[in-house]
Amino acid sequence: MTKLLDKAIDAVRVLSPAEQDEIAQAMLAFVSDFDEGEEIDPVDLEAIERGLDDMRNGRFATEAEMEALFRRFDK
C-alpha cells in the first residue's frame, strides 16, 4: 500500500461508521471500473465482429446513410 493510500485510510478511520461505509462503497465502485474481467454479451460481440469484418473489407456507411442516421436524433 502506498503512503498516500495509508494516509487516506487513517483519515477515514476517524469518521463515523456510516461515513466509513459510504467511502468504502465509493472506493469499491471506483475500483470495479478497473475490472478487466467483465464479459461481453455474445450478441454484442457478434455485432462488433461484423463491424470489424466490414471495416477490414472496406465496407463503410455512405455519407447519405450517416446523415439519415443523425436525422433520427434531431427530434
* pLDDT given at position 37: 64
pLDDT, tens digit (0-9, with 9 covering 90-100), for 30-71: 887 676 666 778 888 899 899 999 999 999 999 999 999 999
In contact, 22 and 12? CB cutoff 8 Å: no
Whether residue 9 is predicted with pLDDT greater than 90 in this model: the reply is yes
Buried b (16+ CB within 10 A) or exposed e, 11-38: eeeeeeeeeeeeeeeeeeeeeeeeeeee
- What is the pTM (predicted TM-score) of this model? 0.44
* pLDDT given at position 36: 64
What integer is the mean pLDDT of 6-25? 92
**Cα gap 31→25, rounded to integer Å:** 10
* pLDDT given at position 74: 85
